Structure 1
């Protein structure tokens, strides 16, 4: 009798957990609709430098890094960008299902929208900065700036939490994750080496810390260290050395001016240290203005 009762309770618990899991897999999502057209506008994929390729939209950057052991995809744009990303990868001659690792530069819906679906389609492992764990698991609902308790993308299964300076290995590729918080608590950049038949390149995918303007820093109670994190990130980025660089948004590194569909392979156009320093200086000025206003 005892065995039957325990067995029944176990079955009920299993069914309950199964239902909860199924619910978690189908979270109600409310992706903002009033977004720039460039975020979903098609853009022809192309080779940037060595094994680095651009497969994103006209403004939401999505990067493919290829290796002999499979490929790494960084960012996914909006949820509706999935078919475009798949087409772009295949147009370059690579297999979508060869995606082995998924990364993001920040856990906002405009970079995470298609992440859960791509993970399901490819079986790739998702790795993310440890400070984004709660936000990713909630589908953006717990984000301090635009969450408000409502998921803006499907929650994603996390296979590995990353810490500042951690290395992501795949084949002969080694990416170093740099913790660059401020815009989100777990925003990050990636630094790695790649090469073509002529030379090697030190590549920086920089998470340029756009300054949040909706509130004063001291009013962001969900993120009490936000001002300090911005200061750290601006300083950290300014000290980095690289050959070529890009960012989470194409507009942040002037992609439309540096590259046009059909252009020949030319990594040199993405060197642009002056453009990087200019972008950082503008962000620093906005940060200092905001700090002055708070004082």
Structure 2
């Protein structure tokens, strides 16, 4: 669904960037996106110390620890207040967020990142391959870059690489570099405990393909085909018990779970759905690479 929205969005964005819109403001976040990206959704506990605090479709995850919290993804610029409310609704202090992460640096996942960083004083960590894009506010993105920032540039505290470990309190997240969707897209793998067992949880960046060009014609990202191949070869091999993704629609959240559903980690164990979406992307990859 996100791919279709972005493809519809690009002509409008480019038109705006060429007109007075680009001159009128430094940050020009597109506005004709799905209303599901801003629709409120009640926060809930996924498993153990992992919580969903995003909007209806733009997933943000709170990982609570003994030494503060980690927030993964911030949605659109307008989502800062929504995420703060959701975190506090769950009974946690927003100011206790110490680390900020993202699956990838498009405006629908980092739109509020700098605002949240300023509000909390948290350290922002990002995959090194996305450093240029995050510093430019999206201007240098290989597909959507157009000379105008789609989000506020974010101050970086640490550049991440494949297999790096992010530690806070009693929690560790393993960084998995999954490039293609953006040059620095990444997933995170972590062990999560509740009263009954320990789960291995994947916060996945599903590598959807947003360019309409054949890969050999994507001159702004010469290694795109090789990066997608690496990601699509690697992701099916990951072992996990539970998985979620950067968009609720990618892991069928609203089909599996209704609001106010009691705590049930078993809702998020559908590996078949994970493998199915990767196979669908592989088919599209095969068409793009020729």
Relative to the length of structure 1, the TM-score reads 0.89
* Gap runs ≥5 in structure 1: 1-26
Q: Residues 217-262 of structure 1, C-alpha deviation per residue, up to 9 Å, x if partnerless?
A: 1221111000110011011100000000001111000000111110
Following superposition, the deviation at residue 153 of structure 1 comes to 0.3
Query: Does the 8 A contact of 2:213 with 2:288 survive in 1?
Result: no
Among 109, 112, 117, the residue aligned to 2:110: 112
**Alignment-derived partner of residue 155 in structure 1:** 153
Secondary structure of the residue aligned to 2:78 is helix
Secondary structure of the residue aligned to 1:178 is strand
Among 262, 265, 270, the residue aligned to 2:263: 265
**Alignment-derived partner of residue 177 in structure 1:** 175
**Alignment-derived partner of residue 19 in structure 2:** none
1:91-106 pair list within 5 angstroms? 91-106=89-104
**Distance in structure 2 (CA, Å) of the matches to 1:94 and 1:147:** 36
Following superposition, the deviation at residue 289 of structure 1 comes to 2.1
**Distance in structure 2 (CA, Å) of the matches to 1:134 and 1:246:** 27
Residue 234 (str. 1) matches residue 236 (str. 2): no
Following superposition, the deviation at residue 214 of structure 1 comes to 2.5
Query: Does the 8 A contact of 2:143 with 2:211 survive in 1?
Result: no
Aligned residues: 266
Following superposition, the deviation at residue 277 of structure 1 comes to 0.8
**Distance in structure 2 (CA, Å) of the matches to 1:60 and 1:215:** 26
1:1-295 pair list within 5 angstroms? 28-291=26-289, 295=290
Secondary structure of the residue aligned to 1:72 is strand
Following superposition, the deviation at residue 282 of structure 1 comes to 0.8
* Gap runs ≥5 in structure 2: 1-24
Query: Does the 8 A contact of 2:73 with 2:109 survive in 1?
Result: yes
Following superposition, the deviation at residue 89 of structure 1 comes to 0.3
**Distance in structure 1 (CA, Å) of the matches to 2:82 and 2:270:** 28
Secondary structure of the residue aligned to 2:199 is strand
**Distance in structure 2 (CA, Å) of the matches to 1:52 and 1:181:** 24
Secondary structure of the residue aligned to 1:157 is coil
* RMSD (Å) for aligned C-alpha atoms: 0.9
**Alignment-derived partner of residue 6 in structure 1:** none
**Distance in structure 2 (CA, Å) of the matches to 1:250 and 1:124:** 25
More displaced 10-residue stretch of structure 1: 147-156 or 209-218 = 209-218
Structure 1 runs of 4+ off > 6 angstroms? Answer: none
**Distance in structure 1 (CA, Å) of the matches to 2:104 and 2:230:** 16
